[in-house]
Structure 1
Amino acid sequence: LNLARALHEAGAPIWGTSYDTINLAEDRKQFNALMEKLEIPQPDGGTALTRDEALAIANQIGYPVLIRPSYVLGGRGMEIVFDDAALINWIDTNIEWNGHPVLIDRFLDDAFEVDVDALCDGEMVTVGGIMEQIEEAGIHSGDSACVLPPYKITRYHLEIIREYTERIGLALNVKGAFNIQFAIRDEVVYVLEVNPRASRTLPFVSKATGVPLASYAAQIATGKTLVDLNFLTEPVVDGNFIKEVVLPFQKFPGVDARLSPEMRSTGEVMGHASTFGHAYAKAQMAANSPLPQSGNVFISVNDNDKTAVLKIAHDLHQLGFTLTATAGTASALSAAGLPVTVVNKVSDGSPNIVDSVRAGEMALIINTPRGGKAHEDGSLIRGTAIAYGVPIITTLTGAMAAVQGIRSLRLKPLRVRSLQAHHAIT
């Protein structure tokens, strides 16, 4: 982003998407005006150049809000904050007021998030792929597993997403690849951000579809059209492709494994199968976190998740797993008629859950942090799990996907074939 500005100001020719388009997509006021003109919904938001402005905007929108610096990549510095004190702490820690605004948006809790990669030649748009994030809203797309094609989004919402993608690409006059992040909540499709460039998901979509999207984007930048390339329709995806992230926590002992709006992953892997469960299981194997087939599952979730986790716990019990939980979660599971063993929190003294992990007694951990800041116990549990190689899941949507993967492995063994064979490439 900053390089494009320097090249533009130096008079260097920029092939493909222009600097003006790159800047418009990042300049919040210009972008908001364009979305309003196109009648495409966005979460309520604003930009602030001072601490007082940030507080005023957050209180006008209503907490929780998503806050981040502008002109950064990878969600660097991005955070969900829940009150004035947390907002002030974030600003004092992350911001040096230098003319670049801070971006503040309403956080769409319980939303489905969707990534779209597409190509535009200035005259028409072709969608390359629509991916549904498996992790819940608030997890950076670069740290979230995703599935292509989407598995929970209705055809109605998919058509809206395709329409919005075409309108935005043409309005921005993109010349090459672009990526849009959407969120669906209460039947409304919101646009979260637009990146007029190739995204990290482009290679994944290309491998899943067999279409060389990066090559096409480069050729469009040199002047070719989608008609010239004969890429006029969205590719049909055969089977289920799961993109999973590789996280660096094992190499950084003591770092909290909690996922957040700030990207932490250092790589990505892919699993493919005819069913979602088998594809997810393959992706976990590739990410060096294979799903267990038996043993003890430790569950500790925040109060907001205690109802939703009951179905997950019931399914794990039906699959033959033994349930273990700290007192609060165990009470909810017992009330639902599930057998559960209570284990001490770290703060309650030994023997506790960390001792159990170190003793090799846990096959899987489901631990959802509360709010925007992890409790000290939760952080220690997650750090110990990483250190001892115990698979850990920090979102309920990820836990649901894991249950599907475990069930699929029980029903049918995995089969393997290459992408070349799948796409009949010789």
Structure 2
Amino acid sequence: MIFKMGEIFNGPGGLGLGSKMAHLEERPDFKIKHVWANDYDASACETYEHNILRDEPDAKVYHKPVQELEIEELENIDAFAFGFPCNDYSIVGEQKGIQGEYGPLYSYGVRVINHHNPKFFVAENVGGLQSANEGKAFINILLALEDAGEWGYRLTPHLYKFEEYGVPQTRHRIIIVGIRKDLEVDFRIPAPTTKDRYVTAREAIENPPIPDDAPNHEMTNHAQKVIEMLKNIPPGENAWYEGIPEHLRLNVKGAKLSQIYKRLHPDKPSYTITGSGGGGTHVYHWAEPRALTNRERARLQTFPDDFEFKGKKEKVRQQVGMAVPPAGAKIIFESILKSFAGIPYDHLPESDWWNGLGIDLNRNNQLAMQY
């Protein structure tokens, strides 16, 4: 069974690459083929086309705002993925949720599902989605997705902690898997693979060493004061470390953000890689007094070294930070394929499905859905 997949808000292709890598040894005929994708960012579209669609010449990336996408004119699909914009749901921002500029964009995913009725979909957003608008945004999104299309969908939302799935980074994201109700296919949340032994930042960046000619591996030029400050910050600590000499400290009022000039700890997973932010937010090497290169950040996001990001350096940083880690996405897509193929796999007990989402189904009948 070959699932023809469409994607909106495709970014550089974290979900796309994960689905592309998904493979079943028992049933190699079960796989995902890309048909079309859409994003408003030109560099992301170029990256996606160059890497995800390089061996699928008939597939197309539509570079335009999703509001201008002619959804009803797109080729029919069996599978659908969308990491709808998280700006209004992130706990770092104001959490405007549904009322924000980006909050309502999930509805375009619903429109795709309503028209194309894919056999399954995968939706992704930040963990802050569960608390935006006092939790009402998440509930509304779930209800809209559960009722989408001609038959409706069985939803399996979960807060995935990607460091428990082989990703060398503490990155927590809500993933909602929807399976069309009429198909009677049961999806189970895949069990963590590295819960007892995380992959460390050192392992990700140094094993094997990054080739000198690897793409997106340019160093950042730092001011001498920044270099001297970093030399005084131990691995795992940040700009507020008490051992920094007074003349090198930051003169910043207000909150002391924990990730400002924070150096990685070599024997732990990285903290969350972000795609934007000013000085001090670029993720810093544990041994060398410098920011990581985009290639090193990409390794922490589990992109292979031959995955070339297109665009200028800051555009590449944005793409790396906004992506879903492909290694984590691969596990989820493989679990979906196994569900359709009837192949058993290790999974979490149903009682843990809603773990960390802050929703009590027993007290919230409107969310009972099919459970």
Higher helix share: 1
- TM-score strictly above 0.5: no
Structure with more of its chain in strand, by fraction: 1
Q: Tell which has more relative contact order, 1 or 2 (C-alpha 8 A, sep 6+).
A: 2
Structure with higher Rg: it is 1
- What is the TM-score when the length of structure 1 is the normalising length? 0.26
Q: Normalised by the size of structure 2, how large is the TM-score?
A: 0.29
